[in-house]
Amino acid sequence: MRLAARIALFALGLPWATGLVALELDMPGGATITREKIEEAGTYRLPLGPYDDGRLPVLEVEGRITQQAWRLEAQGMTTLQVMAPLRSALSRQGYEILLDCSGSECGGFDFRFNTRVLPAPDMFVDLFDFRFLSARKAETTSKPDYLSLMVSRSGASGYVQLLHVQPNGGAGLAIGTASKTSRSQPNTPLAQSLESQGHIALSDLDFTTGSSELGPGPFASLASLATYLKADTSRQVVLVGHTDTVGGLEPNIALSKRRAASVLERLVARHDVPRTQLAAEGMGYLAPIASNRTPEGREANRRVEAVLLNTN
């Protein structure tokens, strides 16, 4: 079954929207919107290429930003089957495709955590099975509008994020890269690492062996991270748990995510960090920073990292 989902991004009664029509996309299955976030005037770094060599090529666009998450019935469907009708609908409506990639082609983990994505459970992204598309439509030569689509799935459900930027008066464009996202000067080693490298290991954390229970602390890394986040409420980080290779992949992914979630809860409960600035994920043993053949290497691989999201 196919359902034409009329996404009302343009017909909003705004003076500068006169004459524009609603964007219509053909969503497979019974698509329902799970979340919508609107910024009357904002900036989005639209990906133009895959993440490579520590950089994500982006086009910085400004205007009214509408970000939506959709969930649909996708039993037996691939992410390509979900994305294909959306891509076709955009082409029919005059959009030029700027980037069309999937999973590891996009840059996998690094791509996902360097572009704006609504948090779970409204939007779910499988790091090994997602597709991304960015596009441009020139209503005038000076004020094109831009959008991106991200598609993923989990079980019988498919997930689609649509992010649309429509220029308003005075909107401008600038070429940039997602590796340069800072709007304020970092003033601590943690802030400097987050803003220059995009992530940092919270190396002083202590977990009970084989458990997700975080030790009593206090932990200086969490205090520094809390200070950094509360200084600017637009900042967001994903806490990503990692393990060594002892045990199976699935149990380790689950354990690493529980550990990241424990860190999140500590930041909220003891450091008063708003929950909206945090998310928790787990990678298991898929992203080692040392050899798992030595005790020292395995110890280094058991960690939780803070990954700075490109939210501005």
Residues 172 and 249 in one domain: no
Round to whole Å and give the CA distance between 109 and 94: 31
Q: Looking at the domain assignment, is residue 183 inside a domain? A: no
**Model pLDDT for residues 158-215, shown as the tens digit of each residue:** 899 999 998 764 333 333 334 333 344 455 678 877 877 788 888 888 877 677 888 8
Q: Looking at the domain assignment, is residue 182 inside a domain? A: no
Residues 8 and 138 in one domain: yes
**Model pLDDT for residues 98-113, shown as the tens digit of each residue:** 999 999 999 988 898 8
Compute the average pLDDT of residues 225-249. Answer: 89
Contact 37, 94 (CB under 8 A): no
State which of 126, 150, 177 marks the end of a domain.
177
Domain of residue 295: give its range: 189-308
Residues 158 and 207 in one domain: no
- Which amino acid is it at 281? E
Round to whole Å and give the CA distance between 148 and 141: 20
DSSP state of 177: E
Domain count, the chain: 2
Residues 113 and 204 in one domain: no
Residues 245 and 205 in one domain: yes
Tell if the pTM clears 0.85, that is, is over it: no
Q: Which of 17-31, 206-220, 283-297 has the lowest mean pLDDT?
A: 17-31
Q: Looking at the domain assignment, is residue 184 inside a domain? A: no
Residues 274 and 150 in one domain: no
The predicted structure's pLDDT at residue 109: 86
Q: Which of 95-104, 132-141, 145-154 has the lowest mean pLDDT?
A: 132-141
Residues 33 and 127 in one domain: yes
Contact 181, 236 (CB under 8 A): no
Round to whole Å and give the CA distance between 266 and 59: 36
Residues 166 and 193 in one domain: no
Residues 128 and 199 in one domain: no
Round to whole Å and give the CA distance between 77 and 88: 17
